[in-house]
Amino acid sequence: MILVTGGTGTVGRQMVPALARLMPNEEIRLLRRPSADIRLPGLGLSTDDRRALQSQVRVIIHSAAEVRFNLPLDEVRATNLEGTRQMLEFAHGCPQLNRFAHVSTLYIAGRREGWVREEPLTHNAGYFNTYAQSKHEAEALVLAERHLPVSIHRLSSVMGGGGHVEQVIRMIPFSSEFPMLPGQPHVPVDLVSSEWTGQALGLLIAQHFEAGAIRHLCTGPDAAPTFGEIMDTAYGAHGRRPKLVPVAMFEWALKAAASSREWRALAGLATFLPHLAVAQPFDPGVTGEILCRAGLAPQHGRELLAAAMAEVLA
């Protein structure tokens, strides 16, 4: 049996059919509320139900997460950190378990500059939001596991589920009201589609699982548009562009002008906009090679950007 958390999310809806096709002899069970709750001891299941489920599970894919960026840290930790802890505890009671795939995010890099590679990542640079911090803490919990066959799959910015990049794009027609945005023209903005991400995740878990591995599901900087290209696509030679400024200046201005209408509108996006000012190229690494050999190279990020921009500006 394959047990999946987060199977009804943006990526999960694409991953589950891929798993069904690639592992046709395995039953797929989605763990979701109200029958179960990953935040609770024993997942909120009765002892009999939990033991019956544990006796059948061979693969666990933990992709459920609280993805809102602006929640208090304790609240988001309840799902992203403690939920991961409870899933690991559950996994220890599964005698047939041969795979535990933890779905993480490349944005655990937080405010840290530089390449993000397929290796454990530690830093003290801080984070732009509580989501990234809680996911980094959860990843550390998984990496510390010594008795389970665990792997980590870090996702890039997924297009197709109304995520943060799409919200930024939707904001563009109104952004002439904003005097500045955090950003650097040369920073790559790594974009992947939800369809590709779900299929790639299914393939990696079904056919290329490796205990201890860290997998990156991204395009890499060579196939990612830069923030400057995003601005050029949005504005061309027309319209008033917001000034691009360093993160520190943007955050200072946001606090100083918090009472104005324009800045109140922008504050809702301020938990992830600063990523556009931090150079963090994502390395596809070995995973990129595996997916290319399997005929599953990601769509170029510029194509995803053009499609999303056309939809917004139509």
**What are the pLDDT digits (tens) for 144-201?**
999 999 999 999 999 887 666 777 667 666 665 667 778 888 999 999 999 999 999 9
Q: Are 192 and 298 in contact (CB under 8 A)?
A: yes
Residue 286 lies in a domain: yes
Q: Looking at residue 90, what is its pLDDT?
A: 98
Verdict on whether the full-model pTM lies above 0.85: yes
- Domain assignment present for residue 180? The answer is no
| pLDDT at residue 32, as a whole number | 87
181, two tokens: 């945005």
If one compares 33 and 18, the residue with the highest pLDDT of the two is 18
Q: Over pLDDT 90: what percentage of the chain?
A: 65
Q: Give, for 265, the enclosing helix (H) or strand (E).
A: helix 261-267
**Model confidence pLDDT, tens digit, residues 269-313:** 666 677 778 899 999 999 999 999 999 999 998 888 888 777 766
User: DSSP assignment, residue 278?
Assistant: S
In sequence order, what DSSP letters do the residues of 44-66 get, joined into one string?
G--HHHHHHHHTT--EEEE----
Does residue 309 form part of some domain? no
- The answer to whether position 83 is within a domain reads yes
- What residues contact residue 295 under an 8 Å CB cut-off, 6+ apart? none
**Distances in whole angstroms, Cα of residue 265 to Cα of each of 175, 177, 262, 268, 282:** 10, 10, 5, 6, 30
Residue 172 lies in a domain: no
Q: Which residue would you say has higher pLDDT here, 153 or 230? A: 153
Number of compact structural domains in the chain: 1
Residue 40 belongs to what domain range?
2-158+191-220+281-299
Q: Which two tokens stand for residue 106?
A: 């490349």
φ/ψ (deg, to 5) at 304: -65, -40
- For residue 23, being part of any structural domain is answered with yes
Flag whether 204 is in a domain.
Answer: yes
Q: Any idea what the CATH number is for the domain that residue 134 is in?
A: 3.40.50.720
pLDDT at 232 over 60: yes
pLDDT value for 9: 92
CA–CA distances in Å: residue 50 to residues 33, 97, 99? 15, 14, 18
Predicted confidence at residue 312, as pLDDT, reads 67
178 belongs to a structural domain: no
Evaluate if residue 210 carries a pLDDT over 70. Answer: yes
